[in-house]
Amino acid sequence: MNEPRLVEVRRKILKENDVLARSLRERFRRAGVQVISMVSSPGAGKTTLLERVLTELRPNYRVAALVGDLATENDAARLARSGAPVKQITTGTVCHLDAGMVERALADWSLGDLDFLFIENVGNLVCPSSFDLGEDLRLVLVSTPEGEDKPLKYPTIFNTADVAVITKLDLADAAGIDLTALAENIRAVRPGIKLLKLSARTGEGVDQLNDLLVSRRQFQAAPAV
């Protein structure tokens, strides 16, 4: 196996991605758009949560979303029900978004017309961790049926996130999950990370996420002294 050579090529690609992500981040800052990305396992509830967040923020903010998947436009169709502009990025066989895909998807959007831009990554707890997308906040979601040990087994993705969101709180009892242990495992991997618990289906806890996003936007938009 040629691991060392692959690692070398990967490193170069990652470096190019970082350069591009930095320029995206600067563009987002100048345009005054708050950019939030979401990563998780497949089926942890990114799209359901995002549909609710878009719907709830939309009366007061100009919101839009990019959504990544290997195949199908299903998620873009679901998210478009919120009334927000949504664009699907299909990656083919690639297990993550990269900054170039984000840049190309934004080519015909005017960033200055947006308050919040959400980027839903491909469902994957490994690959997306290495790729900066220029976002201001990265949310990692873990759903209660996945079990308590996911943070310990996929530490890198939790380490690159700013906020951990425990989803499918309404299934916690049925799944027999120990929520305290899950929270402890998240904090063991990433001490001090902001941690929210919610159910996108019932709506429980979603307000707290929205409040956090709005307060972050207010903080970022405040003039520097």
- Least CB distance to a second copy at residue 25 (A): 17
- Least CB distance to a second copy at residue 62 (A): 28
When the beta carbons of 85 and 147 are compared against a second copy, the nearer one is 147
Q: Which residue has the tokens 């066989």?
A: 93
- Least CB distance to a second copy at residue 161 (A): 15
Spatial separation of the C-alpha atoms in residues 22 and 2, rounded to whole Å: 30
When the beta carbons of 21 and 163 are compared against a second copy, the nearer one is 21
Tell which residue, 126, 188, 139, has the closest CA to residue 167. Answer: 139
- Least CB distance to a second copy at residue 213 (A): 24
When the beta carbons of 34 and 167 are compared against a second copy, the nearer one is 167
- Beta bridge pairs of residue 117: 35, 64
When the beta carbons of 1 and 222 are compared against a second copy, the nearer one is 1
When the beta carbons of 1 and 224 are compared against a second copy, the nearer one is 1
Binding site for a second copy (CB under 8 A): 1-2, 5-6, 9-10, 12-13, 16-17, 41-43, 69-72, 74-75, 93, 95, 98, 100, 122-127, 130, 142-143, 145-147, 149-150, 152-156, 168, 170-171, 174-176, 201
Spatial separation of the C-alpha atoms in residues 41 and 39, rounded to whole Å: 7
- Least CB distance to a second copy at residue 11 (A): 11
> Is residue 53 exposed (0-12), middle (13-18) or buried (19+ Cβ within 10 Å)?
buried
For residue 60, give every residue at least 6 positions away whose Cβ sits within 8 Å of its Cβ, in sequence order, or none.
Answer: none
DSSP letters spanning 98-111: -HHHHHHHTTTS-G
